[in-house]
A = this chain, B = another copy of it.
Amino acid sequence: MVFDVVVEVTLRPGIADPQGATIERALPALGFDGVSGVAVGKSIRFSLESTDEAAARAEVEDLCGRFLSNPVIEDSAVSLTRVGS
């Protein structure tokens, strides 16, 4: 089975987010009002071939915890969509 995987890696609450803070500070001067709580993260997309959905999810969770994110300062959210057999 082939899955389309999207992993979103975001900074954990309380970890300084200077990119987000800079965007938020700049927007009112650029004419955009009403924006608050800006947070910048990474999105990682890939295709994964695996035997079933449970195995695919386990592999992606392991990958996230070990290589795609730093669990000390980052959270990761995984979404899997089956696209082929």
0/1 interface trace, chain A 17-60, chain B, CB 8 Å (1 if under):
00010011011001010111111111111111110000000010
Residues of A within 8 A of B (CB-CB), count: 32
Which of B32, B39, B68 is A45 in contact with, Cβ under 8 Å? Answer: B39
Asked if B30 and A67 make an inter-chain contact with CB atoms under 8 angstroms apart, the answer reads: yes
A43 to B: closest C-beta gap in Å = 4
Asked if B32 and A39 make an inter-chain contact with CB atoms under 8 angstroms apart, the answer reads: no
Cα A62 to Cα B38 in complex, Å, equals 16
Residues of B within 8 A of A40 (CB): 42-44
What would 7 more interface pairs be, CB under 8 Å, given A35-B63, A36-B49, A37-B46?
A10-B45, A32-B67, A37-B45, A38-B44, A39-B45, A41-B44, A42-B43
Which residue on B lies nearest to A46, using beta carbons? B38
Asked if B41 and A45 make an inter-chain contact with CB atoms under 8 angstroms apart, the answer reads: yes
